[in-house]
Amino acid sequence: MTYHLAGDSTVAPAKPEELPMTGWGSYIEPVVGAPVRNLAYGGATTESFLADGSWDRLLGGVEPGDTVVIQFGHNDQKQPELLASRGGYRDRLERMVEQARERGATAVLCTSTERRWFDGDRVTPTHGDYPNAVRDLADELDAPLIDLTAFTTWLYEDLGPEASRALLSHFAPGEHPAWPDGLADDTHFHERGARRIASFVGWSLRAAERRDGDGEALGSQLLS
């Protein structure tokens, strides 16, 4: 069984010149104990992933019994006319779920990882209705859901404004050659943060594979 990842930069493999900035998809293979194909890339939306052939390339490698993990939203929300939360965004996610299922795979939906934007000791939500649209679609389609918006919000608040900074890409001037003047990025993960997210995603995927006594998947009940 193989896991196939579709998503944006928060999921994507690292660019060597940007390490330790990286997406969580780079680190789930040891957690799930199975091969992982990570086709996520920076700037991706549900529309671009479909239009540029990335989705077809992903489907081309899917075999019955595989799992397809889908996380978009960060960039979709920047195109509300085309990719409204209850419009184009939702419709494209539904298409992805249906096509993955046609290949005999399990499709797992993820809400977006939250941005680390604090107001006092609380994280400010930045994704509007997009996470709720994913939650509702997962319920409608009876698809497993990994609520990364909720998890990352909890993670940042649990650590607090200071300690949580280490999970994101913060570099002092002169610390990283790619950003000689320094960087304070509260969207993209440092390797430390990517590993924490990957651990949660991997555990969630394993939980979604468990079955209850009636033979029904536990994914959406456990993970939403």
pLDDT digits (tens, 9 = 90+) for 149-182: 999 999 999 999 999 999 999 999 999 999 999 9
What phi, psi does 85 have (nearest 5°)?
A: -55, -40
pLDDT surpasses 60 at 215? no
Whose CA is closest to 24, among 205, 199, 140, 194? Answer: 194
Q: What is the pLDDT of residue 45?
A: 98
> How far apart are alpha carbons 5 and 119 in whole angstroms?
32
pLDDT value of residue 209: 78
Q: How far is Cα 135 from Cα 187, in angstroms, rounded to an integer?
A: 21
- % of the chain at pLDDT higher than 70: 93
Q: How do residues 93-108 score in pLDDT, each as one tens digit?
A: 999 999 999 999 999 9
- For the stretch 63-116, pLDDT in tens is 999 999 999 999 999 999 999 999 999 999 999 999 999 999 999 999 999 999
- The CATH number of the domain where 160 resides is what? 3.40.50.1110
What pLDDT score was predicted for residue 208?
79
Tally of structural domains, the chain:
1
pLDDT band at 213 (very low <50, low <70, confident <90, very high): very low
In angstroms, the Cα distances linking 218 to 85, 94, 106, 140 are: 26, 20, 13, 15
Q: How far apart are CA 72 and CA 110, in angstroms?
A: 8
pLDDT average, residue stretch 22-47: 98
Q: Which residues contact 213 (CB under 8 A, 6 or more apart)?
A: none
| Angle formed by the axes of helices 88-102 and 130-141, nearest 10° | 40
pLDDT at position 168 is 98
Model pTM greater than 0.75? yes
How many residues in the chain? 224
Determine the structural domain holding residue 58 and report its residue range: 3-223
